[in-house]
Amino acid sequence: MSDVDFGMLTEAARQAMRHAYAPYSRFPVGAAALTAQGLLITGCNVENASYGLGQCAENTLVGQLQLAGGGEIAAFTCVNAAGETIMPCGRCRQLLNEFASADFQILTPEGVTDMAGILPQAFGPQDLEEVSS
């Protein structure tokens, strides 16, 4: 997936951000991704009254991925309320790692990079030993 239209992906993230539920932090976030199969999926953050207990935009995005039948994320970006590209938090970087394709690309504030650029020495499903019953 070398020719990702990150402009289109960023606009989809901005549209998703407009649906965020962030009355406590007042920090709405939108996320958008293209799957390895070419499907566009989006997500937004959802908070609740227990401070610090909210779902990041990446959580709802991965939920959409699973609802669409699963697969891998090939390209990703997320934005803040101003529509500016932001980095996913550490927990979300790990979540993205779980679902990233081998050629995963992410648009960051510093430009496009791969999973190793945002999560060096990541531990993921590929590192788990298969246990047979």
- 87 forms bridges with which residues in the sheet? none
CA 102 to chain centre: 15
Q: Which of 11, 47, 58, 98 is catalytic?
A: 58
Residue 72 falls in the annotated catalytic set: no
DSSP 49: S
Cβ-based burial of 20 (10 A; exposed 0-12, middle 13-18, buried ≥19): buried
The residues assigned a catalytic role are 58
